[in-house]
Structure 1
Amino acid sequence: MDFTYDDEQDALRDAVRGLIGKAYGDYEKRRQTTKEDPGFDEKVWTQLAEMGLLGLPFSEEDGGVGAGPVEIGIVCQELGRVIAPEPYLSSVVLAGGLVSAVGTPEQRQEILGALSAGESVLAFAHAEPGARWSDSASAVTASQDGDSWTVSGTKDPVLHGARADVLVVSAALPDGGTGLFVVQGADAQAEGFSTYDGGRAARVTFDVTAATPLGTAGADVTASIAIVHDITRIMAANQSLGAMETLLAQTTDYLKSRKQFGVTLNTFQALTFRAADMYTSQELTHSLVDWATMVVAAGKPEEVADAAARVGLQVSRGGRHIGQEAIQLHGGIGMTAEYSVGMYTAHLTALDHLLGDAGRHLKVLDATLEEHGVIDPLDRS
């Protein structure tokens, strides 16, 4: 496989890095932005739209650019480098991805067109209290009265649910299965709160709330939700990789500049070895992230699911290792809110738990072992 970017992809990376770096290259700007609602800079969101980044995954017919997974991964990596708080992953990749996969042509043009133009923010209301990373819904139910539909129940947490103009809501259908519905943000009751990595989420309640079926009314779209979840896991891995690269760079720079006993910390062999182990974790993660992203580009759902579990497991382990070592090697300053290392580690943890942690991915991979026969290591036939 060729993991190198072409000229257009390099140009995309440089353009995104220039925009996002200007906005959040100074960690203090990011910290101040996340202190107040909506938790991100609306001006930066508009700038992302002007660059065509919000419409990157969507077809030109739907108001987008029609780029591929590699380009989307580049954007996610650059956002991860500065842990930009804009809801690109949750709004564009996840919620927008579902509209693109399930919606009618009219719905795609209307909803994705507004998202691509930066005129609206989407949120996927799917997670339910007590549930863990399921592709189906149960606590929120849909009811039909003639041609009209309503949804009732609670979703929590919903990333950027309080700010969302449009909610894509999963709900249990009357005849079984899970359907997707479009609900205007103003029609739902949202209680917003801050997350531990400086982001925003909400507890969203629906009480016989008017809803429009996304795509074919009454259709079970559990399989589509699963596919988009897997794609989002891989794009979240891209975002995590960007954060890991920044953590490693910050840590090695600190070891080269911080002095102890009259010499810089990189003089001590044990600390250098620990930094080298961080680099190993980052490079292994980088290889798997690039591979998984190319699997998405190949477009085979069963291979995407396997790739998402494999890269998710590595990102979970690698992110925890790099984050913990970065804090330890920075010493006391790594624990302060004013310094970025701790927040980067918190963001890696949040991404790890967004759609499944290491335990979840191990279970998925473990289930595939039954597909293989028993091998006798001493059988020389």
Structure 2
Amino acid sequence: MDFSFTEEQTLLRNTVQSLLADKYDFDTRRKVVKTAEGWRPEMWAQFAELGLLAAPFSEELGGLGGGAIENMIIMEEFGRHLVVEPYLETVVIAGGFLREGGSKEQQEALIPGIIGGETVWAFAYAEPQGRYNLADLTTTAKKDGSGYTINGYKAVVLGAPWAQKLIVTARTSGAQRDRDGISVFIVDKSAAGVSTRDYPTVDGRRASEITFENVKVGADALIGTEGKGLPLIEKITDEAIAALSAEATGCMKELNTATVEYCKTRKQFGVPIGKFQVLQHRMVDMFMAYEQSVSMTYMVNLKLGEGDAERTKAAAGAKVQIGKAGRFVGQQAVQLHGGMGMTDELNVGHYFKRLTMIDTQFGNVDYQLKRYSEAA
């Protein structure tokens, strides 16, 4: 496998690095997440202006002709700066659903809004009883004339307070946990019957609890084939896992850098604590966990185009590694910084919180280990 980046991909990374170094330092980010809005629409517009929101879309769809590797590059840099803007939810997930399952009419009508930064999306899939099972749905979509009526409840819909449109999974037939009978819909958040309760998450982002009460959508709101949506949902969530893995490696890279620098300057018994062999061993273990995570991230992004079984194993394996490594690196970084490691003024605790949230998103270590064993 060739792990070298093309000239265009290197240029993309340099562009993102330059922008974030200039506009997304840690103190600025702290102030932004404490505002009522919790994000910067003007920064989202700048992402669009620089072509970041167009990077993974084909030229036929108005994009720059990239794909998963471009998402990986962008998400890694976003992880290094703890970017809160909903790139994952809008570009990777919603864009993925439209690209892989959307009709030509849906693609032409909706993808330009994503690329131009005018439309923000959120993915409403999780339900309280479902744990991580994507097929465990009580939200229903009943046929109503030529369209559908949606009723149900979705929990922890990340990015929903900022979104105008939602990707919603609902059951059109079958029992609660059947693999068949699941469909995917596009719903306007402003539609009659949609109510939200917004709140901040532990990592400084925003999420919503969303209730759908007799929400009517047209036949053109259906993505893909009625009742056959689960394979598409699994494919897009695996793409999201690949992107999240890249974000996590960015977080771990910054934690390693900050910890090594601190251990070079913090003195105890008249010498830098980085001189103590036991702490050197810890930092080496942190670096190894990070490097293994990078390897798994590259692997899953390169395997997204393969068959379902290979893709599932790659995504589950990467998520297991990211979950274990993220916890280890985060805990050690906090430990080596001492009590101040969890203070709000220091970035270490914020990276650890983000890694903890990434571990739980789309299935934690235990769930993904089970998923890997079933796919093997």
TM-score range, shorter chain: over 0.9
Distance 2:285 2:224 in 1: 51
Q: Secondary structure of the equivalent of 2:163?
A: coil
User: What is the one-letter code of the residue matched to 1:2?
Assistant: D
| Corresponding position: 1:233 with 2:232 | no
TM-aligned CA deviation for residue 36 of structure 1: 2.0
Equivalence for 1:328? 335
Distance 1:144 1:69 in 2: 35
Contact 2:53 2:117 in 1 (8 A): yes
Distance 2:261 2:281 in 1: 15
Q: Secondary structure of the equivalent of 1:189?
A: strand
Contact 2:130 2:137 in 1 (8 A): no
| 4+ aligned runs moved over 4 Å, structure 1 | none
Equivalence for 1:340? 347
**Equivalent residue in structure 1 for 2:213, among 207, 210, 223:** 207
User: Any residues of structure 2 matched to 1:218-367 within 5 Å, and which?
Assistant: 218-296=226-304, 298-367=305-374
Cα shift readout 1:55-101 (whole Å, capped 9, x = no counterpart): 22222333322202111100010000111111111221112211222
Contact 1:313 1:362 in 2 (8 A): yes
TM-aligned CA deviation for residue 46 of structure 1: 0.6
Q: Secondary structure of the equivalent of 1:206?
A: strand
Distance 1:141 1:63 in 2: 34
Q: Secondary structure of the equivalent of 2:351?
A: helix
User: What is the one-letter code of the residue matched to 2:185?
Assistant: F
Distance 1:118 1:313 in 2: 33
User: What is the one-letter code of the residue matched to 2:308?
Assistant: P
Q: Specify whether residues 293 and 280 from structure 1 end up closer, same or farther in structure 2 by C-alpha distance, changes over 3 A only.
A: same
Contact 1:170 1:179 in 2 (8 A): yes
Equivalence for 1:94? 93
User: What is the one-letter code of the residue matched to 1:244?
Assistant: M
Q: Specify whether residues 365 and 148 from structure 1 end up closer, same or farther in structure 2 by C-alpha distance, changes over 3 A only.
A: closer
Equivalence for 1:377? none
User: What is the one-letter code of the residue matched to 1:172?
Assistant: R
Equivalence for 2:128? 129
Query: Normalization by structure 1: what TM-score?
Result: 0.93
Query: Normalization by structure 2: what TM-score?
Result: 0.94
Distance 1:159 1:140 in 2: 18
Equivalence for 1:21? 21
Equivalence for 2:12? 12
Equivalence for 1:145? 144
Distance 1:239 1:262 in 2: 38
Q: Specify whether residues 12 and 361 from structure 1 end up closer, same or farther in structure 2 by C-alpha distance, changes over 3 A only.
A: same
Q: Specify whether residues 48 and 199 from structure 1 end up closer, same or farther in structure 2 by C-alpha distance, changes over 3 A only.
A: same
Equivalence for 1:47? 46
Cα shift readout 1:240-292 (whole Å, capped 9, x = no counterpart): 00110010000000001112222211111111111111011111111111122
Q: Which runs of 5+ in 1 are unaligned?
A: 370-381
| Corresponding position: 1:168 with 2:167 | yes
User: What is the one-letter code of the residue matched to 1:110?
Assistant: A
Distance 1:205 1:66 in 2: 37
Distance 2:168 2:300 in 1: 28
Corresponding residue pairs, total: 367
User: What is the one-letter code of the residue matched to 2:21?
Assistant: G
Distance 1:311 1:83 in 2: 20
TM-aligned CA deviation for residue 217 of structure 1: 5.9
Larger mean Cα displacement after TM superposition, 187-196 or 61-70:
61-70
Q: Specify whether residues 147 and 52 from structure 1 end up closer, same or farther in structure 2 by C-alpha distance, changes over 3 A only.
A: same
Contact 2:76 2:250 in 1 (8 A): yes
Contact 1:104 1:214 in 2 (8 A): no
User: Any residues of structure 2 matched to 1:70-85 within 5 Å, and which?
Assistant: 70-85=69-84
